[in-house]
Amino acid sequence: MNEGRDRLVERITALKARRKAIILAHNYQLGEIQDIADFVGDSLELSQRAADSQAEVIIFCGVHFMAETAAILCPDKVVLLSHVHAGCPMADMVTAEALRQKKAEHPGATVVCYVNSSAEVKAESDVCCTSANALDLVRGLDSTEILFVPDKYLGHYVAAQTGKQMVLWPGYCPTHTRIQAADIARLKSQHPQAEVMVHPECRPDVIELADFVLSTGGMCRHARATAAREIIVGTEIGLVYRLRKENPEKVFIPISEQAICPTMKLTRLENVLWCLEEMSPRVEVPQETRLRAKAAVDKMLGG
Ligand code: 13P
Ligand code: SF4
């Protein structure tokens, strides 16, 4: 660490205590943010942490829908997003209005929304899921027809695994589409002993070549538990920082160095400090939307 960074971290730590704040960071955040966070995790783990936290202020280092989910769960806490422009392009691929129209075409369908969606879309949905629990949640549904938004690739994977009839929204993650099957084939020939783990936001032909399809939190657990020494990783590059930090004896090979989520990389230490100083940008959800969205999110958390 250099002196400037040390000083920033000191100021963040002091102000965080004064504000009774907690820093939650997603696994794709820059190393400098992961290193100062109180908790680093996947979307499900971060929602659980937010819901259980006793802090008065939550600084969410991630993207907007994650902070918004915390605001849905914790209306009495101040939820701050680390960078005002940190959105998720996939979440923006479905609006509540467009979803209402689709629901009218499928009146009997159960609507399952991926947590990568706005509060308004969650409010239009019956159940919310993350990549960690999508399979279990969908398996547990009685419905014969499921309308799944917005990720067509996660939806395709869930439909294939569960055998459920699913109508898929045409959304996708621009970062995960950079991960290509041809690169896995090349890396597997170079590292024949390596395991391959990928995120379910990847394309179907990529998922086909994987040994394990996991959320980012699932990848962290698997990396610790496996006897494999080499692991080929198909997700956003930020996770590799955490995998290497926690497993220095193992080798992690990203499928694509280009799998960078630009909005996840906006947050720097300065942004966290400014957030604490200015108590902004704050993320709030109007009460009527919040309560309807919370019903779907509670099911995601097992409630
Ligand atoms: P995880 O919930 O698996 O961390 O995924 C979040 C995400 O945005 C993946 O692109
Ligand atoms: Fe959204 Fe993809 Fe970035 Fe995840 S990696 S936050 S799905 S754009």
| 60-87 pLDDT, tens digit each | 999 999 999 999 999 999 999 999 999 9
Q: What is the pLDDT of residues 242-301, one digit of tens each?
A: 999 999 999 999 999 999 999 999 999 999 999 999 999 999 999 999 999 999 999 999
In which residue ranges of the chain is CATH 3.40.50.10800 found? 3-87+264-285, 91-172, 176-254
Tell me whether residue 211 is exposed, middle or buried, using C-beta atoms within 10 angstroms of its C-beta: 0 to 12, 13 to 18, 19 or more. Answer: middle
Find how far residue 3's CA is from the centre of its chain: 32
Q: For residue 252, which amino acid is it?
A: F
pLDDT of residue 193: 97
Which of 116, 202, 219, 221 for mutating ligand 1's site (highest number of atoms within 8 Å of CB)?
Answer: 116
pLDDT of residue 3: 75
Beta bridge partners of 197: 212, 233
Fold of 91-172: Rossmann fold (3.40.50)
Q: In the numeric block, which tokens belong to residue 132?
A: 């960690």
- Give the closest residue to 49 by CA, choosing from 245, 181, 290, 217: 217
User: How far apart (Å, rounded) are the C-alpha atoms in residues 174 and 153?
Assistant: 11
Q: What number is the average pLDDT over the span 88-96?
A: 98
pLDDT of residue 40: 98
Nearest ligand to the C-alpha atom of residue 237: 2
Is it the case that residue 1 has pLDDT exceeding 60? no
Radius of gyration of the chain (CA): 19
Q: Which CATH class is domain 3-87+264-285?
A: alpha beta
pLDDT of residue 295: 98
Give 190's pLDDT tier (boundaries 50, 70, 90).
very high
* Distance (Å) from CA 22 to ligand 2 centroid: 23
Q: What is the pLDDT of residues 200-225, one digit of tens each?
A: 999 999 999 999 999 999 999 999 99
* Distance (Å) from CA 174 to ligand 1 centroid: 13
pLDDT of residue 235: 98
pLDDT of residue 2: 75
Q: Are 233 and 188 in contact (CB under 8 A)?
A: no
Helices (runs of H) and strands (runs of E) counted in the chain: 14, 12
Q: Using a 6 Å cutoff on CB, does residue 239 contact ligand 1?
A: no
Sign of CA dihedral 283, 42, 197, 166: negative
Q: What is the pLDDT of residues 2-18, one digit of tens each?
A: 778 999 999 999 999 99
Q: Are 114 and 129 in contact (CB under 8 A)?
A: yes
Q: What number is the average pLDDT over the span 20-29?
A: 98
Nearest ligand to the C-alpha atom of residue 90: 2
pLDDT of residue 201: 98
| DSSP class of 276 | H
Above pLDDT 70, what percent of the chain? 100
Above pLDDT 90, what percent of the chain? 98
Mean pLDDT across the chain: 97
Fold of 176-254: Rossmann fold (3.40.50)
Looking at ligand 2, which atom is closest to the CA of residue 236?
A: 5
Residue with tokens 């394990």: 212
Q: What number is the average pLDDT over the span 107-132?
A: 98
* Distance (Å) from CA 14 to ligand 1 centroid: 30
pLDDT of residue 279: 98
* Distance (Å) from CA 104 to ligand 2 centroid: 28
pLDDT of residue 31: 98
Q: Using a 6 Å cutoff on CB, does residue 261 contact ligand 2?
A: yes
